[in-house]
């Protein structure tokens, strides 16, 4: 097996290049606590980084499924780039993998959004749910309704 050997000058040059380049973008963690969950049924969620994905419920940067424990579900989303994120959650009480609605399209299973945002005649928009995540970690709580 061959090993690459680097002299001191090559190492100094590599460190200088990395310092000028700036390395990888800073990442942060978003801790999400979902409260008001029933003991039966998994909690589903999606995290979006833009309004287009949020509005169409497509291309989440994170998606998750978790069991409720003691009426809540907790998770930590790691390595998120600084920016705005909207979180959508629901609890699937009957185990079919979908958020069930009535004939008018109103959810009949528990659901919630980041910032506990609520919409008028439909879900809230991305801006209402947007959580601003800088380079530091952040924690949010979502109450299921």
What confidence score (pLDDT) does residue 135 get?
87
Answer whether residue 8 is part of any domain.
Answer: no
The three state secondary structure string of 85-114 is: EEEEEEEECCCCCCCCECCCCCECCCEEEH
Q: What is the pTM of this model?
A: 0.82
Asked whether the predicted pLDDT for residue 9 surpasses 90, the reply is no
CATH number of the structural domain spanning residue 76: 2.60.40.10
Asked whether the predicted pLDDT for residue 24 surpasses 70, the reply is no
Per-residue pLDDT tens over the stretch 26-37? 789 999 999 999
Total tally of structural domains belonging to the chain: 1
Answer whether residue 33 is part of any domain.
Answer: yes
Mean pLDDT, residues 78-85:
95
Answer whether residue 5 is part of any domain.
Answer: no
- Cα dihedral: 143, 140, 116, 25 (round 10): -140
Answer whether residue 94 is part of any domain.
Answer: yes
Asked whether the predicted pLDDT for residue 131 surpasses 50, the reply is yes
Answer whether residue 18 is part of any domain.
Answer: no
Asked whether the predicted pLDDT for residue 23 surpasses 90, the reply is no
Answer whether residue 115 is part of any domain.
Answer: yes
Contact 121, 105 (CB under 8 A): no
Answer whether residue 119 is part of any domain.
Answer: yes
Answer whether residue 1 is part of any domain.
Answer: no
In angstroms, rounded to a whole number, what is the distance separating the alpha carbons of residues 93 and 102?
A: 14
In angstroms, rounded to a whole number, what is the distance separating the alpha carbons of residues 61 and 58?
A: 9
What confidence score (pLDDT) does residue 27 get?
87
In angstroms, rounded to a whole number, what is the distance separating the alpha carbons of residues 33 and 75?
A: 7
Q: What domain range includes position 46? A: 26-143
Asked whether the predicted pLDDT for residue 65 surpasses 60, the reply is yes
């Amino acid at each position: 097996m061959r090993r690459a050997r680097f002299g001191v000058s090559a190492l100094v040059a590599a460190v200088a290049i990395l310092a000028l380049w700036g390395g990888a973008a800073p990442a942060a963690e978003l801790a999400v606590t979902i409260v008001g969950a029933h003991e039966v049924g998994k909690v589903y969620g999606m995290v979006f980084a833009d309004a287009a994905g949020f509005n169409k419920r497509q291309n989440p940067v994170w998606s998750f499924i978790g069991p409720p424990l003691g009426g809540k579900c907790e998770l930590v989303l790691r390595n998120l780039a600084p920016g705005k994120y909207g979180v959508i959650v629901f609890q699937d009480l009957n185990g079919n993998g979908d958020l069930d609605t009535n004939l008018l399209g109103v959810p009949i299973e528990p659901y919630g959004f980041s910032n506990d945002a609520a919409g008028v005649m439909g879900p809230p928009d991305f801006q209402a749910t947007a959580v601003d995540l800088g380079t530091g970690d952040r924690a949010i709580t979502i109450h299921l309704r």
